[in-house]
């Protein structure tokens, strides 16, 4: 999960760099955007059909601009961060407009990691857990690790 978190954080930092955020709120905005996007992915992964939504998004088959994952990340960011910072409508709109761009840059991270010739649930789990080419033993560990990370994120962070 740390690989995807790091990737999200890097994309957020790159995107926020182009928006003038007060220096005393920069860290809050960056972590708020990162957490909102990661929470959206985590919540989507546990919902019925969620894995397919994530798969389509990160493989480029779905647009980040119209994705329910992006809509949820925007809702989480607006409700949990922007509503508490009082940055004004202009800056708030500029920051929320970054979310589809950031999520769009996550495309291409999903690849055939288990060597079976297609992108499937196991590949998504290996991507989220930072795994490489899997053996049956590694696959089981990857699934357990992903389930633990997802459940920990859900149970540890009630939004």
Phi and psi angles of residue 9, each rounded to the nearest 5 degrees, phi first: -60, -45
CA distance 103 to 127: 15
Average pLDDT over residues 108-117: 68
3-state SS track over 66-125: HCHHHHHHHHHHHHHHHHHHCCCHHHHHHHHHHHHHHHHCCCCCCCCCCCCCCCCHHHHH
Chain segment 27-62, per-residue pLDDT in tens: 899 999 999 998 998 899 889 999 889 888 877 788
Number of domains into which the chain is organized: 1
Note if the pTM is more than 0.85: no
Structural domain that includes position 143: 2-156
Neighbours of 37 (CB within 10 A): 27
Q: Which two tokens stand for residue 63?
A: 């647009």
Q: Which two tokens stand for residue 137?
A: 């033993």
């Amino acid at each position: 999960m740390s690989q995807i978190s790091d990737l999200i954080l890097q994309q957020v930092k790159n995107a926020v760099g182009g928006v003038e955020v007060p220096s005393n709120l920069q860290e809050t905005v960056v972590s708020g955007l990162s957490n909102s996007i990661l929470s959206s992915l985590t919540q989507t992964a546990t919902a019925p059909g969620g894995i397919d939504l994530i798969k389509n998004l990160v493989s480029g088959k779905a647009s980040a601009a119209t994705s329910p994952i992006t809509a949820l990340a925007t809702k989480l960011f607006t409700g949990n961060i922007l509503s508490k910072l009082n940055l004004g409508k202009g800056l708030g709109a500029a920051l929320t407009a970054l979310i589809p761009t950031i999520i769009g840059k996550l495309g291409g991270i999903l690849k055939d990691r288990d060597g079976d010739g297609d992108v499937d649930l196991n590949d998504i789990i290996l991507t989220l857990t930072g795994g490489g080419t899997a053996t049956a033993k590694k696959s089981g560990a990857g699934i357990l690790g992903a389930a633990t990370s997802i459940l920990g994120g859900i149970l540890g962070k009630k939004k």
